[in-house]
Structure 1
Amino acid sequence: MFDRRKPVGKVVALPVEQIEPSPYQARRVFDQEELAGLAASIRENGLLQPVTVRRLGPDRYELIAGERRLRACKLAGMDRVPAILRDYQDDQTAALSLLENIQRADLNPFEQARGLQDVLALWGCTQAEAAKRLGMAQPTLANKLRLLQLTADQQQFILENHLTERHARAVLRLPENRRSEALITISRRRMNARAADRYVEQLLQETDTPAQKPRRLPMVRDVRIFVNTIDHAIRLMTDNGVPATARREEGDGYIEYTVRIPTGPGPGK
């Protein structure tokens, strides 16, 4: 019987409507201007690098690599695209989709982090095992995953203000309720990553330093003598019919006296 199945590993021309997007695509944002430029190039020169797909069923394929190229082909009005047919399992598909974008630097830091999170969930393995399979250091993987601790608004602020992954990691050292304010300050002052690290360190030191309580300094001998002299003078005046008054306040390292002595004649004079 004649086998009409398309050969695995060969480049074949597939109808674009038969290719479904990958559920493991980490990239969320596509630059429309860039896609338009790629579409123009494809109309002029054709698609130079085929997309990669796997078979899902009769006349159904799932994209493994080449989301940007496939979108540009559709924009260019192509009915068929050259594709390499591969026989991959789910875990291989997720990893390949992610690695293609990472290697091409097509993902922003948060898309990378979400892609890595998806791969870990799919593989059901530890960070150390995933890092080994992805060819990256385990601390690097852990640092990227930590970016997802920032809220969606904070992530969007970082992208819109062209801050870097290092800026994001710097503010993650702060308590949750102080991160947004720190990001605004970093952006407003146009701090580079090193300056942002120093700024966050300063904020942490201010947080760690307990508030100083006012200290009651011991009264040195000469000051005590002076205070006693004032008290004695007030008592002497009041004993002799002069309605003098004194108000004493103690602050942090000082004593303040307010003395009121009437200048007019006393009562009955």
Structure 2
Amino acid sequence: MLTNIEAMRLNFMLKNDNKVLEIPIIKIRPNKAQPRKTFDETELAALSASISENGILQPLSVRKISAAEYELVAGERRLRASVLAGLRKVPCIVLKCSEKESAIYALLENLQRSDLGIFEEARGISKLIRRYGLTQEEAANRLGKNQSTIANKLRLLRLTYEEQEWIVNAGLSERHARALLRIEDDALRHEALSKIISENLNTSQTDELVGILINSVPKTTKSKGTSKAVIKDLRIFLNTINKAIDTMRLAGIDAQSDKKDTDNFIEYTIRIPKRHQKPDAEKTA
């Protein structure tokens, strides 16, 4: 059974004559839909050395966008390595495809490679959806994935750019990232990520840590408007303190309180004797 990228290649082969042309590198512009943003310099240097020695074994795929300009469809690593090798022309197959087909093909080709970063992949899918007005289900069908898989990958972009950089630089997995998404509080999530990296936690340990942190956060009421109104009315809290002190005094406890009102705080000092003192009536009986 053909994979999505193999089926698309076959479709392009049937639509095109597959003639290989030598095209000047200066006439080839990058594909704007290319999801990959980082390229391993060591691998590029090795590929460049191979190209210098053996030439380009697999032609690049391009599409013509004007009389003298082409857009790269597939083969950016080969193109970059060719530049490093000092080539001025590269062998290409000119495909008859639309901009949309080109973007999908570029993304599909990169998705087949295991070294595509998790956030590069998510951003590539997101860009494809936004640019061509696709639904998640349509994108899933075109990319040969389940709709739930697409949704989970897009959720990764809810992490801040800084968090994404930390995850990539630390070599954490997609499962690590998905676990962090369970933490809604930014500061708490940042704390969790720092601990995961510093202690080199695996995915199971990360799930456990996230669960502990989530359970440690006090649950708040769902009615935000009500809770804010209560918090703002300090008189309710002050009256509660005063009533508590009065209640203790009525019970025969010699509770003492001292209140200080500053610019930023209301400070209470409450003194409660450790031993219960009997009311005066009982002492004289």
CA–CA separation in structure 1 for the residues paired with 2:219 and 2:35: 42
Tell me whether 1:47 sits opposite 2:56 in the alignment: yes
1:190 is the counterpart of 2:200:
yes
Partners of 2:203 and 2:272 lie apart in 1 by 53
CA deviations over 1:96-150 (Å, ceiling 9, x no partner): 1111111012320111011001111122121012101110011111111111111
TM-score (structure 1 length as normaliser) = 0.75
Per the alignment, in what secondary structure is the counterpart of residue 144 of structure 1? helix
Aligned pairs for 1:47-86 (under 5 A) are 47-86=56-95
On the 8 A contact 2:128/2:134 being kept in 1, the answer is no
Is 1:202 paired with 2:220?
Answer: no
Aligned equivalents of 2:112, 2:104: Cα separation in 1: 12
Contact 1:120 1:130 in 2 (8 A): yes
SS of residue paired to 2:217: helix
Partner of 1:243: none
Q: What residue number does 1:263 align with?
A: none
- Paired with 2:116 and 2:185, the residues of 1 have a C-alpha distance of 25
Which has the larger helix fraction? 2
Per-residue deviation at 1:8?
A: 4.6
Report the AA paired with residue 116 of structure 1: I
Aligned equivalents of 1:81, 1:38: Cα separation in 2:
14
- Residue 16, structure 1, aligned to residue 25, structure 2: yes
Question: Which letter does structure 1 place at the counterpart of 2:37?
Answer: R
Alpha-carbon shift at residue 16 of structure 1 (Å):
0.9
The aligned residue for residue 220 of structure 1 is none
How far did residue 203 of structure 1 move?
Answer: 1.2
CA distance in 2, matches of 1:48, 1:127: 36
Identify the residue that residue 102 of structure 2 maps to in structure 1: 93
Q: How does 1:16-165 map to 2 (within 5 A)?
A: 16-165=25-174
Give the Cα–Cα distance (whole angstroms) in 2 for the partners of residues 106 and 115 of structure 1: 14
Q: Distance in 1 between matches of 2:162 and 2:272?
A: 54
Deviation of residue 9 (structure 1)? 2.6
Shift of 1:257: 2.0
> Hey, what's the Cα distance between the residues in 1 that align with 2:219 and 2:69?
63
Aligned to 1:257: 275
- Counterparts of 1:82 and 1:176 in 2: how far apart (Å)? 52
TM-score normalised by structure 2 residue count: 0.71
What is the number of residues matched between the two proteins? Answer: 215
1:123 aligned partner, one-letter code: Y
SS of equivalent residue, structure 1 residue 104: coil
In 1, the alpha carbon distance for the partners of 2:100 and 2:185 equals 34
- Separation in structure 1 between the aligned mates of residue 94 and residue 219 of structure 2, nearest angstrom: 62
Q: CA–CA distance in 2 between the matches of 1:176 and 1:100?
A: 36
Give the whole-Å Cα distance in 2 for the aligned partners of 1:183 and 1:90.
Answer: 39
1:248·1:258 contact (CA, 8 Å) conserved in 2? no
Gaps of 5+ in 2: 1-15, 221-250, 255-270, 278-285
Q: CA RMSD in A?
A: 2.2
When Rg is computed on C-alpha atoms for both structures, the one with the higher figure is: 1
Any idea what SS the aligned residue of 2:70 has? strand
Percent of pairs with identical residues: 45
Contact 1:54/1:85 (<8 A) preserved? yes
